[in-house]
Structure 1
Amino acid sequence: METIVEIEGLTKTFRNQRGIHDISLTVRKGDIYGFFGPNGAGKTTVMKIMAGLSKANKGKVRLFGHEVTTHYEQAMAKVGVLIETAEAYEYMSGRKNLELAARLYPELPGSRVDEVLELVGLSGYQREKVGHYSLGMKQRLGLAAAILSRPELLILDEPTNGLDIEGMVQIREVILLLAREERTTFFLSSHLIHDMELMCNRIGILYGGKLIREGLKTELLDGRFPTLEELFIHEVKEERRAVNHA
């Protein structure tokens, strides 16, 4: 199966000595990879380096076989990104923001803006100025912008952030639909265990800047650990024990 993301030995240390340490993982075509961990574990740091928004001290990231630091345009050509807060022009409507973004992709049909607005549940609010949007609506707009060009890989940092239960369900359904029907590959981060368990086929648990467990969800969740929550609690206890005895 085609490899979409290759991360090798990724390390970045900040002045406070926090950061990420020797992260290595692979994502294959069609995967919904759940990058899971508590706030401050380093999830966003990894994703910013993947998207070329930050530089690592050591290690490499390849997207579609192209290294991000040396061949950025080729690496990012088929990638959509939503990291942290969705950015938009608040004095413009949601629709106008998407129409502006669509100009970057002249090959897109005119109907694509309508399609993504419908997908993320913003059709009824498309004429409102983004400045009047709630946090959840801005997050939906950010997702709409990320999927506008029909990317083959989507890097989404906390995609359900700020959404109510109905919104969270809808975004999950969009992700599963794109993975199933368009074979879109996803690299998602979240600290919400339930989201990860419902959406992802592969899981990476990040804790204290280290990838402490990684693999297929069906292999990680077995008779010993029937839920992701139980697996996470076990792995964190083991990691703390190892650190204390080091």
Structure 2
Amino acid sequence: MKPVVEIRQLTKVYNNSRGVHEVNMTVQQGDIYGFFGPNGAGKTTVMKIITGLSKAQHGEVKLFGYDISTQYEQAMAKVGVLIETAEAYTYMSGRRNLELAVRFYPGIGGERIDEVLELVGLTPYQHEKAAGYSLGMKQRLGLAMALLSKPELLILDEPTNGLDIEGMVQMREIIMRLAREERITFLISSHLIHEMELMCNRIGILHQGRLVRETLVAELVQSGVTLEQAYLREIDSVRNVRKEEAPHA
């Protein structure tokens, strides 16, 4: 079975020296892969490169075996994306927003709109203007838009960011149900450790632009280590290595 996402030696450095450095990661079919790290670690940069919204200086990204730099349309054909804030026309209803979005997908129409509204729990609110939606409802509307094309991979950047506890629980339950019932593979970024531990089966820890560990959540649980403990251990290890490598006076 080929990996859904393959990233090798991915590097992009900005003028302020921040960015990502030689990132290697793999997302397998069926994964809910948690891409975890603090704000500013480089998660959104990686996701923008994966989806073609930004260009890497070095490295390779393949989706479903297709290289995004040379086979972009084939690579993105089965991908749904929600990066940063979910945007909607607030003066339109939730359903009308989806009707506009669905025009980008030939052969997909009203039936699919009904399906995605049901999948994200917005059917009762579909005719209300998006201006009246809570932040959680707007996030679910953005997720519905990402689902219109019947994707096999969903890339979600901080989908629970800014949500209250109820909103986070609802989003988590939707993602887990879609993975289970719709067989969708997920790549999800977050800086919320608890959410990642509850939702994901695999974790990639990003620190200062470098992927310092990939692991199965089940392996952490079996070893009696929480994700928080694993993260702190990895960061301490990185810091110790850098101290040893630093030139001595």
Report what 1:61 is aligned to: 61
Report what 1:155 is aligned to: 155
Asked if the contact 2:5/2:64 (under 8 Å) is kept, the reply is yes
- SS of corresponding position for 2:229: helix
Give the distance between the partners of 1:166 and 1:48, measured in 2 at CA: 28
Deviations 1:145-183 (CA, angstroms, capped at 9, x unpaired):
111222000000011122222221122112111211222
Give the distance between the partners of 2:214 and 2:46, measured in 1 at CA: 15
Deviations 1:57-81 (CA, angstroms, capped at 9, x unpaired):
1001110111111111111000000
TM-superposed CA distance for 1:16, in Å, is 0.3
Deviates more, 1:141-150 or 1:14-23: 141-150
Give the distance between the partners of 1:172 and 1:59, measured in 2 at CA: 32
Answering whether residue 187 of structure 2 is matched by residue 187 of structure 1, we say: yes
TM-score under structure 2 length normalisation = 0.93
How many aligned residue pairs are there? Answer: 245
TM-superposed CA distance for 1:50, in Å, is 0.4
Could you tell me which runs of 5 or more consecutive residues in structure 2 were left unpaired when the two chains were aligned: none
Answering whether residue 207 of structure 2 is matched by residue 207 of structure 1, we say: yes
Query: C-alpha root-mean-square deviation of aligned residues, in Å?
Result: 1.5
Give the distance between the partners of 2:2 and 2:70, measured in 1 at CA: 21
Give the distance between the partners of 2:200 and 2:136, measured in 1 at CA: 22
Asked if the contact 2:2/2:65 (under 8 Å) is kept, the reply is no
Give the distance between the partners of 2:194 and 2:169, measured in 1 at CA: 11
TM-superposed CA distance for 1:135, in Å, is 2.5
Report what 1:228 is aligned to: 227
Deviations 1:62-115 (CA, angstroms, capped at 9, x unpaired):
101111111111110000000001122222111101111122224335232222
Change (3 A) 1:163 1:114: farther
Report what 2:136 is aligned to: 136
**Identity among equivalent pairs (%):** 67
Report what 1:243 is aligned to: 242
TM-superposed CA distance for 1:48, in Å, is 0.3
Report what 2:94 is aligned to: 94
Asked if the contact 1:139/1:161 (under 8 Å) is kept, the reply is no
Asked if the contact 1:136/1:161 (under 8 Å) is kept, the reply is no
Give the distance between the partners of 2:16 and 2:158, measured in 1 at CA: 24
- SS of corresponding position for 1:111: helix
